[in-house]
Amino acid sequence: MDPEAKSKYAIHEACREGRTAEVEALLNANPRLATRRDEDDRLPLHWAVSYNRLPIVRLLVLSKEFDVDAQDGLGWTPLMMAASLRDGEEVLELLLSRGAEVNIQTISEGHADAAVFLLKEGAVADIVDREGRRALELAPDAKVRDFILRSAEREGIDLG
């Protein structure tokens, strides 16, 4: 990355690397940096979530123009990214508390434990995609599907 781009996307790099104090200083100097998109059309929030940087996510959700459902260049939302993390429940919880929309991709792209967490938090179990497939049918494989089914039953979640 050339020096100009590196400087332009310093907040993105700080979010990826977990440099909370630097992110806070950058936002204090220029709050609009929270809405700056990088070359991948990602916000600092996308990077903080994808690297499970909870303290930085907490800072970014306080931004005046915070959009919990902002999509990156590939259509991924912060919640979808958090669902794909191992041990991302605290980030999931924070994003849900800020009104993140749970959609079919959120459930089907995530780890099985994240899918169960989302279902426990009220995600619609029978949501379907354009082709009429339920999220559970889009699970990566039978093992993941079975884990979700067993966990949902244990938690008393009705999957319809």
What CATH number is given to the structural domain containing 38?
A: 1.25.40.20
Q: Contact at 8 Å (CB) between 152 and 116?
A: yes
Residue-range definition of the domain harbouring residue 160 = 102-160
Which of 44, 66, 91 is where one domain is finished? 91
- Longest Cα–Cα distance in the chain: 54
Global pTM reads 0.79
For the ranges 28-42, 79-93, 99-113, 134-148, the lowest mean pLDDT is seen at 99-113
- Higher pLDDT: 42 or 143? It is 42
- Measured CA to CA in angstroms, residue 104 lies from 16, 67, 80, 150, 159 at distances of 26, 19, 10, 20, 14
Asked which of 58-62, 131-135, 154-158 is least confident by mean pLDDT, the reply is 131-135
The pLDDT tens digits for 59-114 are 999 998 899 999 999 888 999 899 888 888 899 999 999 999 887 667 666 677 88
